[in-house]
Amino acid sequence: MADITKSEGDALYHPSKEIIKNANVKDYEKIYKQSIEDPEKFWAKEASQLEWYKKWKTVFDDSERPFFKWFAGGKINIVHNAIDRHLKTWRRNKLALIWEGEPGDVRTMSYHALNREVSKTANVLKSMGVKKGEIVTIYMPQIPELAITMLACVKIGAAHSVVYGGFSVEALADRISNANSRVLVTADGGWRRGKVTDLKSIANDAMDRSPTIEVCITVKRTDHEVHMENDRDFWYHDLMALPIASPSCETEVMDSEDMLFILFTSGTTGKPKGLVHTHGGYQVFTSSTHRNVFDIKDEDRWWCAADPGWITGHSYMVYAPLINGTTVMMYEGAPNHPYPNRWWNMVEKYGINILYTSPTAVRGLMRFGDQWPKRHDLSSLRLLGSVGEPINPEAWRWYHSVIGGGKCPIMDTWWQTETGGFMITPLPVTPLKPGSATKPYFGVEVGIVDENGKEVKAGEEGKLVIKKPTPGMARTIFGDPDRYHETYWKEYEKQGWYKAGDSARMDEDGYIWVIGRIDDVIKVSGYRLGTAEVESALVSYPDVAEAAAIALPHELKGNAIHVYCILKAGLKGDKKLAAEIKKHVSNEIGPIARPEEVHFLESLPKTRSGKIMRRVLKARAMGVDEGDLSTLEE
Ligand code: PRX
């Protein structure tokens, strides 16, 4: 059992002797100090754990800041480290993937088998004219072909843009156009709560709005009827049966700084931005953080219960675990289908050792009560993880005691789509405080600063900044380098710091407590959405003249979206209209963006220059002080 002591009124959870004895990293303080004194030495050491076709010339190059380069001059491909090099060892026959579909079907794949599938798919993509440097859009449910397609694109030097399967037509069409994708890979649907999600119809509507698309490859998952267009649509299984789909394919030699993928995420203004990640630094950073933070051992079965459509799925479901030669668990459907023990059943059945998920999922399963996990032997679990939003201490304690049996440290990892991997996180040897992401990872220097960039005192809230670039950080925003500079680096240009967009405080022990976003980004159930996206969906509804969206605390989701609409002259809001508006937003963006409540107002609080003051709406809704109102228009 974990040893629990009290510190300043907070319980401090110490790891067991066994965890400490087996930990990959035992002395955090010492290695952290060295990594900060000489980050390039630290990262070069981590990079040399990977295989390079050609070694890098410089570890870090900041001559064109903020467009940093890592391992420049090096030749590598992430697929070489994630698959090819394992084939030369005993891991060839190790399980790379255990997949369970929602209806209960199971597929497993060794590294050898994964390589065959990836190579065949890569050859299929080549036959469709996919070239090095081009971006393939992937819109799929959580099935093995999603990871296989990602790896296949990268193997031949193309990049992928995975669009979360919960997004709707408008969101998908925007992302296809922004990436100039010629090829879309999708599926006829997936299983969610016993129903088919009709991805292909959404993809068809999105393609109608996307003139760049020439080819669509569809994986058959659910076997329901879908519309296929002549000359554009191909079934994946038909192509995979052709002689062109040979199981051997050269992995393309890439430069360290060549594009690996783009991933769209929400920001403060306008359309979502496609963050660009590259081959070299990203694989060094994600594999290092995964190995050290989750103490990866060869015999481990690792389950990152995220969706591959988000960065967590990219970094810690696909790339880092495969690089570390881990057996990856993947599950298609809802956590509580058909019963709330679905996850716990799979933990027991497959002997999962490490489970990494979100606070929302923990809260969602907690509400069904202890009897569901208690029906299962969860003793295979050694470590737990949390990501996406701050975890409330109540959920943390339940996760720790009921799921982890009081013996599994919880790695609460703070990071972002932009950082590629963990930035603030415990290690298994770190004494834990429920709700704190604890300390920075090696080579990561953070600061908590006030309006003027001055470090705030212990216990005070401030803005979170990263003081030095790290290898896994996104290099730019696809097609919009100015926006990248503007969004992340301009505010602290002088100091050379990265603005995270979160507020946080550090306690007397140096533990960091992330509070939440300070910009117009909303985290709903851990998913990231921009108020601007929701508002633009609202005003596209014919009756709505103006709108504002804010986040208010929600017991299960962490935050929920509340919207305020001004209707066009002469119209009156009622329940029916509110329901229609909710449905409209859900159709435009996706069910995750569906507003919790729609309010109708005569006017919105605005500054004299016409900017909506969302913080005033929020303060009013929560019944707290509205703060400084001097800029509010009359
Ligand atoms: O606000 C922070 C929150 O999620 C934001 C990043 O969202 P996204 O790019 O979608 O990436 C999520 C998965 C890495 C951050 O700015 N966040 C993420 N992890 C934590 C967190 N907030 C508190 N604690 C965390 N562990």
**Quick one: which atom of ligand 1 is closest to the CA of 415?**
14
Q: How does strand 259-265 pair with strand 159-162?
A: parallel
Residue 45 CB neighbour total at 10 angstroms:
14
- Distance in Å, CA 112 to ligand 1 centroid: 34
**How is residue 365 written in tokens?**
């399963």
Q: Does ligand 1 have an atom closer than 6 angstroms to the CB of 267?
A: no
In three-state form (DSSP H/G/I as H, E/B as E, the rest C), the secondary structure along 396-427 is HHHHHHHHCCCCCCEEEEECCCCCCCCCECCC
415 Cα to the center of ligand 1, angstroms: 5
- What region does 559 belong to: left with phi over 0, alpha with psi -120 to 50, or beta? beta
Structure confidence at residue 270 (pLDDT): 67
State yes or no: pLDDT of 70 exceeds 70: yes
Distances in whole angstroms, Cα of residue 607 to Cα of each of 616, 630, 632: 11, 9, 4
Res 621 pLDDT > 80: yes
Output the CA 121–ligand 1 centroid distance in Å.
Answer: 33
Rounded average pLDDT over 286-304? 98
Provide the whole-model pTM. 0.95
Ligand 1 contact, 502 CB (< 6 A): yes
Pocket flag, ligand 1, residue 463 (CB < 6 Å)? no
Is the CB–ligand 1 distance for residue 387 below 6 Å?
yes
Q: Which residue in 358, 351, 402, 336 sits closest to 381, CA to CA?
A: 351
146: which residues sit within 8 A by CB, 6+ positions away?
138, 140, 162, 308
Instruction: Please state, in angstroms and rounded to a whole number, the distance separating the CA atoms of residues 440 and 444.
Output: 6
Alpha-carbon distances of 43 from 24, 152, 240, 285, 316, rounded to whole Å? 17, 27, 40, 8, 19
Instruction: Tell me the CA–centroid distance for residue 386 and ligand 1, in Å.
Output: 10
pLDDT of residue 5: 61
pLDDT of 1 strictly over 60: no
**pLDDT surpassing 60 at residue 7:** no
Q: Report how far residue 587's alpha carbon sits from residue 472's, in angstroms, rounded to the nearest whole number.
A: 34
Residues 6+ apart with CB under 8 A from 87: 111, 112, 115
DSSP output for 94-158: SEEEEEE-TTS-EEEEEHHHHHHHHHHHHHHHHHTT--TT-EEEEE--SSHHHHHHHHHHHHTT-
Residue from 266, 358, 416, 487 whose mutation best tests the ligand 1 pocket (most atoms within 8 A of CB): 416
**For the segment 481-513, what is each residue's pLDDT rounded down to a tens digit?**
999 999 999 999 999 999 999 999 999 999 999
pLDDT at 577 over 60: yes
Closest ligand 1 atom to residue 500 Cα is 16
Residue-averaged pLDDT of the chain:
95
Enter the tokens of residue 247. 């199981």
Q: What angle do CA 538, 544, 547 make, to 5 degrees?
A: 55
Q: In this predicted structure, what is the pLDDT of residue 38?
A: 98
